């Protein structure tokens, strides 16, 4: 599913728009900025990004030292048979 605004992305991730901006700037969150200023990404890209960051052998390091844990965003995430399960973020489709 395509997400075309910062608010849609934040809602899907169950985070604030400020957190999404931080993840983009520091943690390589997979979103592109459109000419009109909106962000665009897909739920598949987000899910893959989260799973990659939450792997036990993850060697990810932030672009700069921000005091934010490298696995930020991994709370309430579990993986079963390759599928992503996120606590309350798995709400009905929009």
88 or 1, greater pLDDT: 1
Predicted confidence (pLDDT) per residue in 27-61, tens digit: 889 999 999 989 999 999 998 888 887 777 665 55
Kindly report each contact of residues 28-31 with a partner whose C-beta sits within 8 Å and lies 24 or more positions away, as own/partner.
28/63
DSSP-H helix ranges across 1-94 = 6-13, 17-27, 43-54
Residue 91 binned pLDDT confidence (cut-offs 50, 70, 90): very low
d(CA 69, CA 62): 9
Give the tokens for residue 19.
């957190």
Burial class of residue 39, CB neighbours in 10 A (0-12, 13-18, 19+): buried
pLDDT of residue 18: 94
Share above pLDDT 70 across residues of the chain, in percent, rounded to a whole number? 59
pLDDT of residue 32: 93
Hey, how many other C-beta atoms are within 10 angstroms of the C-beta on 77?
17
């Amino acid at each position: 599913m395509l997400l075309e605004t910062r608010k849609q992305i934040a809602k899907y991730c169950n985070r604030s728009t400020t957190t999404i901006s931080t993840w983009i700037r520091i943690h390589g969150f997979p979103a592109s900025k459109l000419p009109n200023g909106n962000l665009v990404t897909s739920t598949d890209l987000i899910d893959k990004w989260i799973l990659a960051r939450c792997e036990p052998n993850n060697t990810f390091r932030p672009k700069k030292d921000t005091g934010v844990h490298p696995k930020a965003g991994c709370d309430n995430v579990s993986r079963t048979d390759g599928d992503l399960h996120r606590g309350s973020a798995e709400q009905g489709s929009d």
